[in-house]
Amino acid sequence: MKNIRNFCIIAHIDHGKSTLADRLLEMTNTISQRDMQAQVLDDMDLEREKGITIKSHAIQINHTHKGEKFVLNLIDTPGHVDFSYEVSRALAACEGALLLVDATQGIQAQTISNLYLAIGNDLEIIPVINKIDMDGAMVDEVKDQIIELIGCKPEDILLASARTGVGVPEILEAIVERIPAPEGNPDAPLQALIFDSVFNSFRGIIVYYRILNGSIKKGDIVQFVSTGQSYGADEVGILKLTLDPKPEVRTGDVGYIITGIKNAKEVKVGDTITLASNPHPEMVQGFEEVKPMVFAGIFPVNTDDFEELRDCMDKLQLNDASLTYELETSQALGFGFRCGFLGMLHMEIIQERLEREFNQTVITTVPNVSFVAYTSKGEEIIVNNPAEMPDPTRIDRIEEPYIRAQIITKPEYIGNIMTLCLGKRGILINQSYLTTTRVELVFEMPLTEIVFDFYDKLKSQTRGYASFDYHPIDRRDSDIAKMDILLNGDKVDALSALIHRSRANDFGRKLCEKLKELLPRQQFQIAIQAAIGAKVIARETISALRKDVTAKCYGGDISRKRKLLEKQKEGKKRMRQIGNVEVPQEAFLAVLKLDD
Ligand SMILES: Nc1nc2c(ncn2[C@@H]2O[C@H](COP(=O)(O)OP(=O)(O)OP(=O)(O)O)[C@@H](O)[C@H]2O)c(=O)[nH]1
């Protein structure tokens, strides 16, 4: 155990995490140059079929340091804020972290948020400035930023180029010398922390864990503490370039277990594995059920395809346990699902996967966060869908989720960012200069304000010179109203939105204008109205017109005429009939396309 080191690499996006991991694997001959190439060329699906995604989960490196053999387990962490819970669990499986900072970019928002997670897990931090080979490298300035941030000595900071390999041997040396060996009792009952899992269509779910105490043997009956389920350990082993089966995995080590589980829901990141016959009395600290943050409806474009969509959702959930869904019916869109996502990125990924892997064309409705309504009778109602909002006369108060947002930028953009964030109901909590050219702003803001387009606005307001990260903090009282959209007097439930009352008029007006652009003219006049309760707050009108697609063909050619009419019919399939109005698919997402 004294010759084991468990570590991870934390960095802002594109600061060179994968490249450094490649170099570490190459220099320790964990992967030969030839395999390295082959791996890079492997596509994701193939990688998944084989049950290996070497660099994205964990890999064991054998390294000889001053004549002594060491086992280094590199645990990878997901990059995006939507998955920050998984990052924190991966960090909990390590004793140390390489904090990688791009010499041309300096410290960015994710550098800091990941660093805080690492410090929270008591990890030994090894700061590394990467990309020193680049012309724009500002080594001294970035050094100052790091010293300011973590309070280390200048000589503790390593300089490297993951591209050329310069400084990588020193990184290996620092991993061995600075990161402590794991502690734990090999004779105690098994206690292992699940930090990741992957779905393999042949073998079921492969669970990755770090053993804190005891050991796990092939054939053991193990128990997952949070679910209480027991399984036989069909195979256990360590993670090399491929899965490397072993009769036993011991204290301090990182390994995998295959038990034939087919449903991702049974495996929870952060859960503890123990032995059914001799359970460890304690769970590993810090387990949380991951809660979805953003909700939206997903409906088939064609109502007849509902059963097929249900099938696809079931399959998708088998390998993405963080996706939640339940049946939703909409007058406008028929049967579909109200889905919960970890964040907007997660929502995009799910939509993409439904389209690419399952060949489904879906309509996604306006996303919203989860509100809590308290009725005057003292009931607490969770509102994940505008339709679930109780009648205003019954509501005592409503709470909405808040986040803490952290933005790092250049001082010249402070003004723009202030205007943007205060306009989004943000409260400035802290402003501090990391160096003279880099400032960190911390705001508390309602989550609902950043769901739609906050990040795009931030980028445009700062010409890309801002990095952003956020974490949920709490729920606060808020004046939320349900706004409905009516087309010729018919309420379109799929276009309803939950919105802060101060925003409603402006939002209603813009949404009506946008819908006017998106709805095709029809043979009759269409009134578009936004209303809160019975009160109409905005209105637009589309005048009547018969769109004669055959007008272009002067007389004669009947076959051409027929073709055009056919085409028009095709186009209609992507429309939904609401009352007497036809609504194209993109109108349901109009809210995401509103400009200022
Ligand atoms: N010049 C130079 N380029 C580097 C170095 N390290 C990484 N890069 C380049 O920087 C880009 C980002 O590197 P990645 O290793 O993909 O970064 P990452 O942190 O893994 O990025 P994500 O996976 O998106 O989080 C790539 O184009 C690399 O080739 C370096 O030391 N020098």
For atom 8 of ligand 1, which residue has the closest CA?
16
> Buried b vs exposed e over 57-84: b needs ≥16 C-beta within 10 Å?
bbbbbebeeeeeebbbbbbbbebbbbbb
Cα–ligand 1 centroid distance for 80 (angstroms) = 16
Ligand 1, from 10, 13, 18: best to mutate by most atoms within 8 Å of Cβ? Answer: 18
Cα–ligand 1 centroid distance for 101 (angstroms) = 11
Average pLDDT, whole number, for the chain?
A: 86
Cα–ligand 1 centroid distance for 17 (angstroms) = 6
On the question of pLDDT at 41 being above 50, the answer is no
131 CB near ligand 1 (under 6 Å): yes
162 CB near ligand 1 (under 6 Å): yes
- Antiparallel, parallel or unpaired: β 204-213 and 191-200: antiparallel
Question: Average pLDDT, stretch 136-162?
Answer: 93
User: Which atom belonging to ligand 1 lies closest to the Cα atom of 79?
Assistant: 25
For atom 25 of ligand 1, which residue has the closest CA?
13
Q: Is 265 annotated as a binding residue?
A: no
User: Which atom belonging to ligand 1 lies closest to the Cα atom of 160?
Assistant: 31
Cα–ligand 1 centroid distance for 586 (angstroms) = 36
Q: Which residue in this structure is represented by tokens 């004779």?
A: 187
424 CB near ligand 1 (under 6 Å): no
Q: Is 479 annotated as a binding residue?
A: no
On the question of pLDDT at 527 being above 70, the answer is yes
Cα–ligand 1 centroid distance for 89 (angstroms) = 24
Q: Number of C-alpha atoms within 13 angstroms, CB side, residue 379?
A: 9
Question: Average pLDDT, stretch 65-86?
Answer: 82
First CA to last CA across the chain, in angstroms? 59
Cα–ligand 1 centroid distance for 179 (angstroms) = 24
Q: Per mean pLDDT, which range of 178-182, 292-296, 310-314, 581-585 is the poorest?
A: 581-585
372-478 CATH, one of 3.20.20.70, 3.30.390.50, 3.30.70.240, 3.60.10.10:
3.30.70.240
Question: Average pLDDT, stretch 245-263?
Answer: 93
For atom 21 of ligand 1, which residue has the closest CA?
14
Cα–ligand 1 centroid distance for 18 (angstroms) = 7
40 CB near ligand 1 (under 6 Å): no
At a CB cut-off of 8 Å and minimum separation 6, what does 142 contact?
101, 103, 106, 107, 129
Question: Average pLDDT, stretch 371-377?
Answer: 93
Q: Is 184 annotated as a binding residue?
A: no
On the question of pLDDT at 47 being above 50, the answer is no
User: Which atom belonging to ligand 1 lies closest to the Cα atom of 15?
Assistant: 19
pLDDT value for 217: 95
On the question of pLDDT at 238 being above 80, the answer is yes
Cα–ligand 1 centroid distance for 193 (angstroms) = 30
Angle at 221 between CA 219 and CA 226, to 5 degrees: 140
Rounded distance, CA 137 to CA 396, Å? 57
For atom 9 of ligand 1, which residue has the closest CA?
16
383 CB near ligand 1 (under 6 Å): no
pLDDT value for 124: 96
- Select the highest-mean-pLDDT range: 77-81, 285-289, 466-470: 466-470
Length of the chain, please?
Answer: 596
Write the CA distances from 520 to 275, 488, 573, 587, integer angstroms. 63, 14, 14, 10
What would the CATH number be for the domain defined by 483-488+502-593?
3.30.70.2570
What would the CATH number be for the domain defined by 4-178?
3.40.50.300
Tell me if 167 sits within 8 A of 161, measured CB to CB: yes
- More confident of the two residues 35 and 325: 325
pLDDT value for 563: 66
Ligand 1, from 13, 18, 19, 467: best to mutate by most atoms within 8 Å of Cβ? Answer: 19
Q: Is 319 annotated as a binding residue?
A: no
Question: Average pLDDT, stretch 15-43?
Answer: 76
Q: Is 66 annotated as a binding residue?
A: no
On the question of pLDDT at 191 being above 90, the answer is yes
Cα–ligand 1 centroid distance for 458 (angstroms) = 24
For atom 32 of ligand 1, which residue has the closest CA?
131
Question: Is residue 465 exposed (0-12), middle (13-18) or buried (19+ Cβ within 10 Å)?
Answer: middle
Question: Average pLDDT, stretch 194-215?
Answer: 88
- In the chain, where are the structural domains located? 4-178, 191-275, 294-367, 372-478, 483-488+502-593
At a CB cut-off of 8 Å and minimum separation 6, what does 406 contact?
109, 112, 113, 440, 441, 442, 468, 469, 470
pLDDT tens-digit map of 98-135? 999 999 999 888 888 888 888 888 999 999 999 999 99
Q: Is 131 annotated as a binding residue?
A: yes
Tell me if 236 sits within 8 A of 197, measured CB to CB: no
pLDDT value for 50: 46
What would the CATH number be for the domain defined by 294-367?
3.30.70.870
pLDDT value for 580: 75
104 CB near ligand 1 (under 6 Å): no
Rounded distance, CA 590 to CA 14, Å? 32
Reported confidence tier of residue 551, pLDDT bands at 50, 70, 90: low
Same fold, 372-478 and 483-488+502-593: yes
Longest CA–CA separation in the chain, Å = 91
Cα–ligand 1 centroid distance for 163 (angstroms) = 8
191 CB near ligand 1 (under 6 Å): no
Cα–ligand 1 centroid distance for 13 (angstroms) = 9
On the question of pLDDT at 90 being above 60, the answer is yes
Q: Per mean pLDDT, which range of 36-45, 400-409, 506-515 is the poorest?
A: 36-45
133 CB near ligand 1 (under 6 Å): yes
User: Which atom belonging to ligand 1 lies closest to the Cα atom of 134?
Assistant: 1
pLDDT value for 37: 62
- Looking at domain 191-275, its CATH class is mainly beta
Cα–ligand 1 centroid distance for 258 (angstroms) = 33
pLDDT value for 184: 92
Q: Is 548 annotated as a binding residue?
A: no
Q: Is 572 annotated as a binding residue?
A: no
pLDDT value for 257: 95
